[in-house]
Amino acid sequence: MPKKPEARKVRRRRRPVGVTIHDVARRAGVSVATVSRVLNGKEVVREETSRHVFAIAKALRYVPNVAARSLSIRRSQTIGILLPDVHGEFFSEVIRGIDVAARAAGYHILVSGWHSDTSEMLEMVNAMRGRVDGILVMAPDVTVAALRELQAQIPIVILNSLDEAHDCVTIDNYGGAKAMMRHLIDLGHTRIAFVKGPPQNNDARERLRGFRQAMRGDGKRAIEVDGDFSERSGFDAARRIFESVPRPTAVFAANDSMAIGLLSAFAELGIDVPGGIAVAGFDDIPIAHYVSPRLTTVRVDIVDLGTRAFNLLLDRMTKSLTGESRHERVGTSLVVRESCGTARKDTQTRGEES
């Protein structure tokens, strides 16, 4: 019988192993320590050697082991960001401001929403500990006293809330609301409605305080309508305002999202804006410039809010600062667009054109 042909041995190709710093050092003909110094940029290395090492690393497609590096320097080069929500233009702009500043400083970001629940906030902070070098917490809705015990364990900066134990960045909500009210009163409005934000929210409370302060005395009449910062709550508030007798001639919403809801509802109700009623908002989110009519609002540099918060955190993480906490306030400015129309009773408008 003819012999069966021998089965051909199939040589399995080994799975390629990731290139290590040792491979780069061996190919470049230098020590591992030299490669580390070049790639980390921590110490001065001759320019010729640096160029050679970088060229070899690129040719080998070397990717640093971030986890190992984090263990060696006890830093992750990552920060955590905790927000009440991650939906909406305001939060997107805050994240953008933080991210741009963080990337410029060589940091990555981890983002999570905590839905204005204190226990969930603490749970997320504890989950991030050991994974990040510091944490930014936006907490306008709750007391941040619960974070004080953690301040000694990890740097924490608070956005939109004040606490003596932490570095904080807040918005001049009160001043911005008063500026808008001066503008509406100068336009000749005497009956002005205000759509409030969530009662537990610090930003909302300060904007309401500015409205109430401006409406004191002078026989002016105010109407306050509940809202929750959502477009839907602004939309629903419009009908209650529409049914008021006498009807307000102007509506100031505590944020732009609710103001946009008002514009949509008034359009459905057949009320001309600004001819039948003036509408104003707060924040100057990007869409405020593109709705029809364009929205008069109080501008907050939201990106700057995020950038300032990151810079405070960076100082705490890298300079080992001690002593009193630092508090910064982001200013506001009036942006006059078409949704409030022109002056009544020949009064002059104030604010900046946009």
β-pairing, 167-171 vs 134-138, is unpaired
The answer to whether residue 2 sits within a structural domain is no
- Cβ proximity of 186 and 350 under 8 Å: yes
Neighbours of 92 (CB within 10 A): 14
| Residue that terminates a domain, selected from 11, 37, 64 | 64
pLDDT more than 70, % of the chain: 84
pLDDT of 61: 83
Residue 239 has pLDDT above 80, yes or no: yes
For residue 343, pLDDT beyond 60 = no
With respect to residue 286, please indicate whether it lies within any of the assigned structural domains.
yes
Q: How many CB atoms lie within 10 A of CB 267?
A: 13
What is the predicted pLDDT for the residue at 13?
Answer: 42
Can you give the CATH number for the domain in which 159 is found?
3.40.50.2300
Mean per-residue pLDDT for 105-131?
Answer: 86
Q: Is the pLDDT of residue 354 over 90?
A: no
Same domain (yes/no): 144, 241: no
More reliable by pLDDT, 49 or 38: 49
Q: What is the pLDDT of residue 322?
A: 67
Averaged pLDDT for residues 184-196: 94
In a domain, 312, yes or no: yes
**In a shared domain, residues 126 and 189:** no
pLDDT of 2 strictly over 60? no
Q: SS3 helix, strand, coil % of the chain, rounded to 5?
A: 40, 20, 40
Q: Per-residue pLDDT for 22 more than 90?
A: no
pLDDT at 232 over 90: yes
Which whole number is the average pLDDT over 331-346?
A: 80
Whether residue 113 is found in the same domain as residue 225:
no
Do 54 and 125 share a structural domain? no
Are both 246 and 180 inside the same structural domain? yes
Q: At which of 44, 64, 84 does a domain end? A: 64
Is the separation of the CB atoms in 174 and 203 below 8 Å?
A: no
Do β-strands 296-300 and 332-336 pair in parallel, antiparallel, or remain unpaired? antiparallel
> What was the pLDDT predicted at 329?
94
Confidence check: pLDDT of 294 > 60: yes
Are residues 215 and 280 located together in one domain of the fold? yes
Residue 218 sits in the same domain as residue 343:
yes
218 and 178, same structural domain? yes
Q: In what order do the strands lie in the sheet with 78-83?
A: 108-113, 78-83, 134-138, 156-159, 167-171, 327-330
Contact in structure between 256 and 92 (CB atoms under 8 Å): no
Tell me, yes or no, whether 122 and 241 share the same domain.
no
What domain count does the chain have? 3
Out of 33, 64, 95, pick the residue that ends a domain: 64
> pTM value?
0.74
Distance separating alpha carbons of residues 95 and 80, to the nearest angstrom: 11
**Mean pLDDT, rounded, of the chain:** 84
Higher-confidence residue: 54 or 69?
54
Domain containing 271: what range?
Answer: 173-301+333-353
User: In terms of pLDDT, which residue wins out, 291 or 120?
Assistant: 291
